[in-house]
Structure 1
């Protein structure tokens, strides 16, 4: 036990020193991180698909069949290259440009933080995309703050305004702010059990005024403007403040409904905008989506006739973040080692 006590004291000292160093490094690196530009990652999904297919063929087919398929593939590629070289009169070179399908992923949290990278990805795509191409967004979000998802929906509208076909695929959930983003698309595709809808607005605020009042604690709140603060966490709320707060929610809901209606006029918005959600097949019946299919199936349908390109914008991690992750990993390893020694000492 004396060994364990000494070891614990040493570990605490080590952690304290590491935290102090981490704080100092974070302060030094905080100013530098903002100036570091991110970088764009581009991956052709066709190649990965072809590689998997070739691997399975090599494992499952006999040598004769495999050889015949490879021969047929080479013949097809040769004919395609030949058709791309010249026009029939051999005076003008013509290049057959394949359709490009750009794929983005949006994994939304309550603040729609992913919009920071999506705006960069869309800017990059719009610099090269044409109306013959297509943008696919694999969307997953249960919604969040109004201004965050409003900005995210506006970023998708940039694609529509450029006359580039936009498809949103929902495999799991696109609810509330997530559906507000999805409805911007020319086409919404959802998996059979994906959750869609929740066209509503919700807000809740805890209030501890009565607890503070019992403890003889006063809270003073001074505002300029009748409705600068309607409900508070600490002060005593009034009926007038509650009514104004509810009215603000209704106004936001009306704005939400008008936006969805403008993007999908085929919806019966009054029957849909109740805050309810529907699974993919039910959403199709209610015109919330255009077809029921997984994003994988939709992407595979493009591999033969288009270049499917995944675009990802990556923001470099600052020194503080990298140090924090490495420090956490080191502490985790030390804790595992300490627990191991403890269990060995006690005979577990």
Structure 2
């Protein structure tokens, strides 16, 4: 038994070493491939109406006797099939840098290539905001729908704050769950400064710029009141642009009241006219299923070679360590 244990331990170490080398080689190869070939993705259309009908039929089969169920099925088949308008459902779960905009761009381009004037887009939005330029571009992608006069409804089930609300206000209609977080029309910037720490350890920091305000505040240099004032001025200018943008898309707002950087829950946001109705995205889709053909549109980025190799190798290592643990436990 001791021999088997020693042999198992040796084998686990050997496999771990080999897998580690394979991971390194895979990461290098994957990085080289990712540089030579751009990442591509795949556009996925899911017929939510068909899924809903299948689910309803399954429930009816469970609840009804055989004969009534057959009658129900026959009644469904004989219903007149009128041409329905379409609702396209998109999801945007925004990160700090709004990198999800790449997928949003592809999804909107696909919809615009087939959408008719009476079709509609529902965006299920979830974001606490992030960088100004990233969310500015995301909002511009949504504005492409407005320019083509395609109705856009934005649903906020959890949070649409700061840059998230910048995107939401593009919608012709905003709905929110009762306790969804909405608003935060403000701008924030913060950074540490290590200048005193560097001085304490006799470390010099040198920075060279051309232009008086090329760098206003810095991580390692000694910040000045003049630089801080200029940086604050830039924040105020960004805030003014943010307020102007929101006002252009939701003129009914009292912008001075809501642009304080605060956030509100859904009920409060409705009173302030930040949203138009209290409703979840699930309720909105369920209501649409009776009148529209509903499709979910998603652009799925393909994983790079490095990601695939890394995940596969990690799974192999994990499985072998589990086997080794079991061997030790049994011993």
Q: Same fold (TM over 0.5)?
A: yes
TM-score after normalising by structure 2: 0.92
Aligned mates of 2:22, 2:40 — CA distance in 1: 29
Deviation at 1:189, TM superposition (A): 0.8
2:164 paired residue among 156, 178, 182: 178
1:307 aligns with 2:293: yes
Deviation at 1:175, TM superposition (A): 0.6
**Helix, strand or coil: the match of 1:109?**
coil
User: What is residue 46 of structure 2 aligned with on the other side?
Assistant: 43
Change (3 A) 1:287 1:21: same
Matched residues, number: 327
1:331 paired residue among 317, 323, 326: 317
Please say if residues 174 and 195 of structure 1, whose CA atoms lie closer than 8 Å, have aligned partners that are also in contact.
yes
Please say if residues 207 and 234 of structure 1, whose CA atoms lie closer than 8 Å, have aligned partners that are also in contact.
yes
User: Superposed, which structure 2 residues align to 1:99-114 within 5 Å?
Assistant: 99-114=85-100
Please say if residues 136 and 167 of structure 1, whose CA atoms lie closer than 8 Å, have aligned partners that are also in contact.
yes
Aligned mates of 1:241, 1:265 — CA distance in 2: 35
Greater RCO, 1 or 2 (C-alpha within 8 Å, sep 6+): 2
Please say if residues 157 and 177 of structure 2, whose CA atoms lie closer than 8 Å, have aligned partners that are also in contact.
yes
Aligned mates of 1:301, 1:331 — CA distance in 2: 48
User: What is residue 123 of structure 2 aligned with on the other side?
Assistant: 137
**Structure 1: segments with no counterpart, 5+ residues:** 81-95
Deviation at 1:309, TM superposition (A): 1.0
User: Superposed, which structure 2 residues align to 1:187-198 within 5 Å?
Assistant: 187-198=173-184
Aligned mates of 1:168, 1:105 — CA distance in 2: 10
User: What is residue 26 of structure 1 aligned with on the other side?
Assistant: 30
Aligned mates of 1:333, 1:9 — CA distance in 2: 13
Deviation at 1:264, TM superposition (A): 0.4
1:71 paired residue among 70, 74, 78: 74
Aligned mates of 1:210, 1:335 — CA distance in 2: 47
Aligned mates of 2:74, 2:21 — CA distance in 1: 65
User: What is residue 55 of structure 2 aligned with on the other side?
Assistant: 52
> Which range is displaced more, 221-230 or 6-15?
6-15
CA shift digits 1:51-94 (9 cap, x unpaired): 11111111112334323322322221xx44xxxxxxxxxxxxxx
Aligned mates of 1:299, 1:310 — CA distance in 2: 11
CA shift digits 1:226-259 (9 cap, x unpaired): 1111111111111111111111111111111111
Deviation at 1:122, TM superposition (A): 0.5
Aligned mates of 2:136, 2:322 — CA distance in 1: 45
Deviation at 1:178, TM superposition (A): 0.4
